[in-house]
């Protein structure tokens, strides 16, 4: 099904978030009721999404520059202070020191330490969080 | 775009961060960018890439993630951290790029991809393939259609401005925008040959 020009404008306004709450509700009711409209909408949405990406790339290029200027892309950009002292277990204790040393840091701790890189933090389980039905 | 010194300060949980992303809050995207970019840049630099490669690949990946969030394709999962999802998505895109380059040089590349990670970003990878296909097809369209679509969707020009730039009436500009986009859709879905 090809969208008429009026339907085309309405679908684009819906995807752009430019419909009023009443118009938005009506659009969703129509999509739920009319399978042909729903299919035409899905076909339109894929192309619309593809055309949004170059705009978003430019947005993130600007963002990168600003984050870099503000020093927010450095390794020490984000940190949290910890109240608890860290406990280090020494790998090779000798006779004069305890195998456990307690270090109280005056410096803040980084909340996102590098090391053992294969991902930023804990691996997360996959699941069905990807919805291809709701705009 | 004015960003605070710590854009993450307003987003202490993934739920708050996702709400910020859905609201197109610059701070939310800046937080996600800053939290994830360093990890990804390190990954790329230890996997045959440079910082410049990392920057380009990450900006493409986060831009696709942004559109997936905006259009409702991607929705928050309680078991997947946003920065982990974005990292894995960008990582898979980078691996694909390396494999593609190796394939062109008829070499093999052995890359371990965890099955769990693969499942995590399968849908985003399909989304990414569609994005690439749309933009490849756009380049094959006629010059006028490419220009109308570029001016309207990518540069965000109003139809009146497009009419002025292309020497159309405003109604012609509106019709061209409609016809060219419909043509692109037909090409994408395999229903048409190029005729614009």
Cβ–Cβ under 8 Å, residues A40 and A3? yes
Helix (H, G, I), strand (E, B) or coil at B192: coil
Query: Do A18 and A60 belong to one domain?
Result: yes
Q: Do B71 and A52 touch (CB under 8 A)?
A: yes
Compare all CA atoms of chain B with the CA of A78 and give the residue at the minimum distance: B6
Are A75 and B185 within 8 A, CB to CB? no
- Do A95 and A57 sit in the same domain of this protein? no
Confidence of residue B6 (pLDDT cuts 50, 70, 90): confident
Same domain, A34 and A87: no
A19 in the same domain as A63: yes
β-pair partners for A102 = A87
Q: Which domain holds residue A9?
A: 5-69
pLDDT (tens digit, 9 = 90+) per residue, B69-90?
998 889 888 888 899 999 999 9
Cα separation of B172 and B159, whole Å?
9
**Residue A127 included in any domain:** no
Radius of gyration of chain B (CA): 20
Domain match, A48 and A85 both: no
For residue range B15-54, what is the model confidence (pLDDT) as tens digits?
999 999 999 999 999 999 999 999 999 999 999 999 999 9
A83 and A60 within one domain = no
Same domain, A27 and A51: yes
Same domain? A14 vs A65: yes
Residue B158: CA count within 13 A, CB half-sphere:
3
pLDDT tens across A61-80, in order? 999 999 999 988 876 555 43
Handedness of CA B76, B128, A133, B10 (dihedral sign): positive
The verdict on A87 and A34 lying in the same domain is no
Indicate if A62 and A83 belong to the same structural domain.
no
| CA–CA separation, B22 and B15 (whole Å) | 11
Give B-chain residues touching A112 at CB under 8 angstroms: 35, 38-39
Total of domains in chain A: 2
Q: How confident is the model at residue B104, as a pLDDT?
A: 65
Residue-wise pLDDT for A79-98, tens only, equals: 433 333 333 333 444 444 44
Decide if pLDDT at A11 tops 90: yes
The answer as to whether A131 is a domain residue is no
Question: A92 and A57, same structural domain?
Answer: no
Q: Cα distance from B70 to chain A (closest Cα, Å)? A: 8
Considering only CB atoms, A125 lies closest to which of B46, B79, B175, namely: B79
3-class DSSP string for B60-103:
HHHHHHHHHHHCCCECCCCCCCHHHHHHHHHHHHHHHHHHHHHH
On whether the CB atoms of residues B47 and B112 are closer than 8 A, the answer is: no
Q: What confidence category does residue B196 fall into, taking pLDDT thresholds of 50, 70 and 90?
A: very low
Closest CA to B135 of B44, B48, B64: B64
What phi and psi, each to the nearest 5 degrees, are found at residue A82?
A: -110, 140
For B105, list phi and psi in degrees, rounded to 5.
-100, 10
Q: Which of B58, B53, B39, B44 is nearest to B111 (CA)?
A: B44
Residues 44-63 of B with CB under 8 A from A: 46, 55, 59-60, 62-63
Are A48 and A12 within 8 A, CB to CB? Answer: yes
Lowest average pLDDT, out of A34-43, B114-123, B170-179, goes to: B114-123
List A residues 100-119 in contact with B (Cβ-Cβ < 8 A).
Answer: 112, 114, 117-119
User: Alpha helix (H) ranges present in A17-102?
Assistant: 21-33, 35-69
In a domain, A23, yes or no: yes
Q: Is it the case that residue B7 has pLDDT exceeding 60?
A: yes
| Beta-carbon separation of B87 and A63 below 8 A | no
**Domain-embedded: residue A121:** no
Using a pLDDT cut of 90, give the percent of chain A over it. Answer: 48
Tokens matching residue A46: 């894929």
The pLDDT value recorded for residue A105 is: 42
Task: Identify the pLDDT of residue B3.
Answer: 84
Torsion of CA B24, A134, B148, B141, to 10 degrees: 130
Q: Do A77 and B34 touch (CB under 8 A)?
A: yes
């Amino acid at each position: 099904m090809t969208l008429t020009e009026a339907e085309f404008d309405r679908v684009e306004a819906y995807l752009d978030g430019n419909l009023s709450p009443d118009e938005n509700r009506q659009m969703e009711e129509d999509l739920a009721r009319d399978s042909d409209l729903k299919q035409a909408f899905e076909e339109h949405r894929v192309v619309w999404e593809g055309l949004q990406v170059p705009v978003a790339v430019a947005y993130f290029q600007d963002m990168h520059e600003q984050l870099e200027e503000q020093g927010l892309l450095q390794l020490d950009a984000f940190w949290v202070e910890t109240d608890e002292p860290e406990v280090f277990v020494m790998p090779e204790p000798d006779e004069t020191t305890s195998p456990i040393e307690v270090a109280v840091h005056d410096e803040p701790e980084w909340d996102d330490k590098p090391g053992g890189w294969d991902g930023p933090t804990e691996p997360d389980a996959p699941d069905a969080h990807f919805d291809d039905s709701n705009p | 775009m004015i960003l605070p010194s710590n854009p993450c300060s307003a987003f202490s949980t993934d739920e708050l961060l996702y709400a910020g992303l859905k609201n197109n809050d610059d701070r939310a995207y800046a937080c996600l960018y800053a939290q994830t970019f360093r990890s990804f840049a390190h990954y790329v630099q230890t996997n045959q890439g440079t910082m410049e490669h990392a920057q380009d690949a990450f900006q493409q990946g986060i831009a696709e993630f942004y559109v997936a969030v905006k259009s409702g394709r991607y929705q928050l999962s309680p078991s997947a951290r946003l920065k982990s999802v974005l990292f894995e998505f960008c990582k898979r895109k980078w691996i694909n790029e390396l494999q593609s380059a190796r394939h062109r040089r008829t070499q093999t590349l052995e890359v371990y991809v965890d099955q769990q990670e693969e499942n995590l970003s399968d849908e985003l990878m399909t989304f990414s393939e569609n994005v690439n296909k749309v933009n490849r097809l756009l380049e094959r369209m006629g010059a006028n259609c490419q220009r109308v679509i570029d001016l309207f969707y990518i540069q965000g020009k109003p139809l009146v401005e497009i009419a002025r730039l292309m020497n159309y009436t405003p109604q012609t500009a509106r019709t061209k925008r409609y016809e060219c986009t419909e043509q692109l859709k037909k090409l994408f879905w395999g229903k048409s040959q190029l005729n614009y």
